[in-house]
Chains A and B, each alone.
With several copies, the nearest count.
Chain A
């Protein structure tokens, strides 16, 4: 099993903060494609290309490997800090 953690807008869209998916060893982009198919509420955000992905709490690319037992997070653009008016 791979644990998928969802944050902020993604969690609100999915209605849950954690998903688990049965997946063989694959790449991040394979996993994202599978998630978009299984969770239509996330499809638009996943296809937007604006999400950041981490694997075991390190930033990952579309080509990064994912394997059974990993913790993957889908993260919208960050907005911590303050001090920047727009």
Chain B
């Protein structure tokens, strides 16, 4: 499965090994890793929780993946997003783009994270010193 939403941590080395096994023409793997910070809008974050719309979220990620492969001519794409309560400092989202050339890999990876934020039904709740808030980002 090249698109996954899960509570568990992921290993980037493992995911890269998996994607490399899918083709022998891969020369470049560009990845985006999103991590939780300890500050949000200048307030200390003590706790983060991610929630998704099961079914629709996976479907949107798979759409993004297939469009990236088709529109940028890359070899393969993997997208992982974690949900549930996550401590500060954890890895949240991973996008891997495997390609023959680096140029298309960079552009496809950038496309995937921008689209993920735009069309994937996932929500983040932050607990800061001022209380809990569902974050609304304006990408």
- Please tell me if B23 contacts chain A, counting CB pairs below 8 Å: no
Pick the residue among B51, B56, B119, B139 that contacts A8 (CB under 8 A): B51
- Please tell me if B41 contacts chain A, counting CB pairs below 8 Å: yes
Contact A57 B35 (CB under 8 A): no
Contact B136 A76 (CB under 8 A): yes
Contact A85 B134 (CB under 8 A): no
Contacts of B101 on A, CB cut-off 8 Å?
Answer: 83-85
List CB contacts (< 8 Å) of B72-103 with chain A: 81, 92-93, 100-102
State in angstroms the CA–CA spacing of A9 and B138 once bound together.
Answer: 17
Pick the residue among B36, B41, B119, B120 that contacts A86 (CB under 8 A): B41
**In whole Å, how far is B31's beta carbon from the nearest beta carbon of chain A?**
12
Contact A78 B120 (CB under 8 A): yes
Q: Which of the four size classes fits the interface of chain B? A: 35 or more
Residue in A closest to B116 when the chains form the complex, CB atoms: A81
The binding surface of chain B is classed by DSSP as mixed
State in angstroms the CA–CA spacing of A5 and B53 once bound together.
Answer: 9
- Please tell me if A14 contacts chain B, counting CB pairs below 8 Å: no
Residue in B closest to A77 when the chains form the complex, CB atoms: B136
**Which residues of B approach A to under 8 Å, CB–CB?**
25, 27-28, 32, 34-37, 40-41, 50-53, 55-57, 59, 81, 92-93, 100-102, 105, 113, 116-125, 134-139
A-B contact pairs, 25 of them (CB 8 A): A5-B53, A7-B121, A8-B134, A9-B123, A52-B121, A54-B53, A73-B53, A75-B121, A78-B118, A79-B124, A79-B135, A79-B136, A80-B122, A81-B93, A81-B113, A81-B117, A82-B34, A83-B28, A83-B105, A84-B102, A84-B117, A84-B137, A84-B139, A85-B101, A86-B137
5 new A-B pairs (CB below 8 Å) besides A9-B123, A81-B122, A83-B105? A7-B53, A78-B122, A78-B137, A80-B123, A85-B101
